[in-house]
Amino acid sequence: MSSASSSDRESSRSASPEANGADAAPVEKKTFADLGVSPELCAACTSLGFKNPTDIQVESIPPALAGNDIIGIAQTGSGKTAAFTLPILQNLWENPQPFYALILAPTRELADQISKQVSALGAPIGVRSAVIVGGMDMMSQSIALSKRPHVIVATPGRLMDHLENTKGFSLKALKYLVLDEADRLLDLDFGPIIDKLLKVIPKERNTFLFSATLSTKVEKLKRASLNKPVQVKVAAKYSTVSTLQQYYVFFPEVQKDAYLFYLVNELSSSSMIIFTGTVDRAQRLSIMLNRLGFAAIPLHGQMSQSARLGSLNKFKSGGRKILVATDVASRGLDIPLVDLVINYDIPTNSKDYVHRVGRTARAGRSGKSITLTTQYDVVMLKGIEAAIGRQLPAFDVDKEAVAILSDRVAEAGRAAKIEMREQGNGGSGGARGRDKGRRGRDDDRDRDDDVVQGGMPQRKKFKKGGRR
């Protein structure tokens, strides 16, 4: 581990809390060139539509280029990926070598997204990157590592498997370590793996730690792995953007599906994400909505990795207007033009609420969120309102119309349950049997599944053949 740094040695910077999108208002209209970014990388930023740097980029890129460790406290969607990628790529251009940087992410989808941006920004200088995540074939990943990429983007469990089992793979020459969404990494109990990793990478390195909040676990990690870091804050602990309209709907628990269908039907012109607390509900609601005439697609951690990416890409491309997802989709993913977020299950804590509704109203656009609230959810709703500092208004609902829809929805719900039983207990349509060849003991170490992500205990029906 690198030398611990005390808080009194820590340099701190702050910026406007309004940096909530990739096109957030820049500080003093600075350009990337003003920050010291090379012409080649400035051109890459322009080609990707990055007109001006965001607050987190303005505050973190110059000290990162100067060789400082960075602690970036900012919400998702604030431009963090480019904030840590540009300094790495610029220094890589000046000192090219394989296995130059490692970026750790809590979920497979976020790792894939980060890798794509690294490749896009690094295209002018020929950067090679590799994605190392669970749910994919180990051998193909070993081949990718044998090509000696400059940047590795990984989830911790699968990375450690390769360090222990892939012949010739080592990170002894690593120059940069990035922990993205560090609070989420540690929430998912990756801590022991990260501690192990810190013992096998060089102590003399640069470390960038980016997090939405400074939890106790993140503070401990910061002290252990950063040396004289510059701390950059651009957001409050819990914040939602002003362009987001937030509502709740209150009703008896037994009418939950009917109210959901009413909202989907009334707001059918919107591109929407429906968040659930469990895999079972995400799969069931997706089937139910399809039977009711709406093209919905699921996304959850019990699907194979290829199926998860397929769902995400279909939704991003507009092939499906409704994504029914667990919290595997709530963090970090940049999904443009989401008009509406519906919380079918109220999130168990305020932080998850902020991240869920943050999927809409991004980059200065407007958006809407509606939280379904039953008699059992009132206390949690009040807690969310207290945390975000605002009282949510009730969304106007035609209760007579809901009553008319109830029988049709109940019939579709029953049919969805039957279909799930026929497919083999949900998941991705029985893919657990078909996917056994790609899933092994090593996947147990990638904790980006919905047993953890959903914040709820795993149901018995998923234990057989499933991962802990």
In this structure, is residue 465 part of a structural domain? no
Give the whole-angstrom CA distance, residue 212 versus residue 233.
9
In this structure, is residue 328 part of a structural domain? yes
Residue 190 binned pLDDT confidence (cut-offs 50, 70, 90): confident
Domain co-membership, 108 together with 172: yes
Domain co-membership, 168 together with 222: yes
Closest among 36, 43, 92 to 63, alpha carbons compared? 36
Looking up residue 117, the CATH number of its domain turns out to be: 3.40.50.300
Q: Give, in degrees to the nearest 5, the angle at Cα 19 between 230 and 224.
A: 30
Kindly report, residue by residue over 79-106, the tens digit of the pLDDT: 889 999 999 999 999 999 999 999 999 9
Written as one letter, the residue type at 130 is A
- 444-to-108, 185, 344 alpha-carbon distances in Å: 14, 15, 28
Domain co-membership, 143 together with 278: no
Domain end marker among 210, 233, 256: 233
Say if residue 15's pLDDT is above 60: no
Domain co-membership, 226 together with 302: no
Say if residue 461's pLDDT is above 70: no
Q: What is the mean pLDDT of the chain?
A: 83
pLDDT at residue number 221: 79
Q: CB of 58 within 8 A of CB of 219?
A: no
Domain co-membership, 151 together with 214: yes
Domain co-membership, 349 together with 433: yes
Q: CB of 143 within 8 A of CB of 166?
A: no
Phi, psi of 160 (to 5 degrees): -65, -35
Q: Which of 25-29, 119-123, 186-190, 337-341 has the lowest mean pLDDT?
A: 25-29
Residue with tokens 């590592």: 145
Q: CB of 150 within 8 A of CB of 93?
A: no
Kindly report, residue by residue over 398-444, the tens digit of the pLDDT: 999 999 999 999 999 999 999 999 987 544 433 333 333 333 333 34
In this structure, is residue 462 part of a structural domain? no
CB-hemisphere CA count at 13 Å for 237? 10
Domain span at residue 407 reads 244-453
Phi, psi of 343 (to 5 degrees): -90, 95
More reliable by pLDDT, 337 or 48: 48
Residue 179 binned pLDDT confidence (cut-offs 50, 70, 90): very high
- To the nearest 10 degrees (0 to 180), the angle between helices 256-266 and 399-423 is 110
Domain co-membership, 248 together with 229: no
Domain co-membership, 227 together with 257: no
Closest among 283, 279, 286, 284 to 458, alpha carbons compared? 279
In sequence order, what DSSP letters do the residues of 181-231 get, joined into one string?
THHHHHHTT-HHHHHHHHHHS-SSSEEEEEESS--HHHHHHHHHH-SSPEE
Structural domains in the chain (count): 2
Token pair recorded at residue 345: 């299950």
Domain end marker among 186, 210, 233: 233
Kindly report, residue by residue over 24-49, the tens digit of the pLDDT: 444 457 999 999 999 999 999 999 98
Residue 235 binned pLDDT confidence (cut-offs 50, 70, 90): low
Give the whole-angstrom CA distance, residue 214 versus residue 401.
46
Percent of the chain with pLDDT over 70: 81
In this structure, is residue 442 part of a structural domain? yes
Strand, coil or helix: 414: helix
Domain co-membership, 66 together with 201: yes
According to DSSP H, which parts of 292-426 are helical?
305-317, 350-357, 378-388, 399-423
In this structure, is residue 461 part of a structural domain? no
Give the whole-angstrom CA distance, residue 254 versus residue 258.
9
In sequence order, what DSSP letters do the residues of 275-326 get, joined into one string?
E-SSHHHHHHHHHHHHHTT--EEEE-TTS-HHHHHHHHHHHHHTS-SEEEE-
Give the whole-angstrom CA distance, residue 405 versus residue 392.
26
Mean pLDDT of 155-179: 95
- 92-to-43, 100, 218, 359, 424 alpha-carbon distances in Å: 17, 7, 27, 32, 48
Q: What element of type H or E holds 262?
A: helix 256-266
Give the whole-angstrom CA distance, residue 313 versus residue 315.
5
Domain co-membership, 92 together with 215: yes
Domain end marker among 233, 261, 294: 233
In this structure, is residue 411 part of a structural domain? yes
Domain co-membership, 212 together with 278: no
In this structure, is residue 93 part of a structural domain? yes
Q: CB of 26 within 8 A of CB of 80?
A: no
Mean pLDDT of 308-318: 89
Domain co-membership, 66 together with 181: yes
Q: What element of type H or E holds 207?
A: strand 206-211
In this structure, is residue 467 part of a structural domain? no
